Amino acid sequence: MSVNKEENKAVVIRFNKEFIEQGNMESFQELMDSEFINHTAPADADRGPAGILHTFNQILRPAIPDIKITIYDQIAEGDLVTTRKNISGTHRGNLMGIPPTGEQISINVIDIVKIKNGRYAEHWGINTLPSVLAQLRAL
């Protein structure tokens, strides 16, 4: 079976724009494989689709209701898509124990997503959320 790298990149863009940014649950269901594994989830977190839902619907979106995703770069190789992006918005709700500050938040992210049959199958990633949390705590 051949892999269409441009289609795989489009899946990642859709997931970021339609689910993460807009909160579209239909897109989430369409783009998330039921066997999905998040290899870089925190040790105490759900590593499957429920963990992704929790991260965005229970943690980030309530804290940053105007969440915006900016995709800077994408590189596709085989069934993997690497994306360098930014998650930004205004800190208007509790964020991991930090009360709202009204400050602009900017989280840099590099994700690697394995796409299988047009869906998110696996994820690895790094982000600057820990340093953003430290800055907010210092305010």
Task: Kindly state the tokens that stand for 67.
Answer: 């969440």
Pair 133, 96: CB distance under 8 Å: yes
Task: Name the pairing type of β-strands 32-38 and 119-127.
Answer: parallel
In degrees, to the nearest 5, what angle opens at C-alpha 46 toward C-alphas 104 and 90?
A: 10
Q: What is the CATH number of the domain that holds 65?
A: 3.10.450.50
Low-confidence ranges of the chain (pLDDT < 50): none
**Under DSSP, is residue 21 helix (H, G, I), strand (E, B) or coil?**
helix
| Mean pLDDT for the chain overall | 96
Record the tokens describing residue 87, joined without a space: 């998650």
Predicted local distance difference test score (pLDDT) of residue 2: 65
> Can you tell me the distance from the alpha carbon of 86 to that of 117, in angstroms, rounded to the nearest whole number?
26
Given a contact cutoff of 8 angstroms between Cβ atoms, the answer to whether 128 and 111 are in contact is no
Provide the domain limits for residue 33: 5-138
pLDDT at 45: 94
Domains identified in the chain, total number: 1
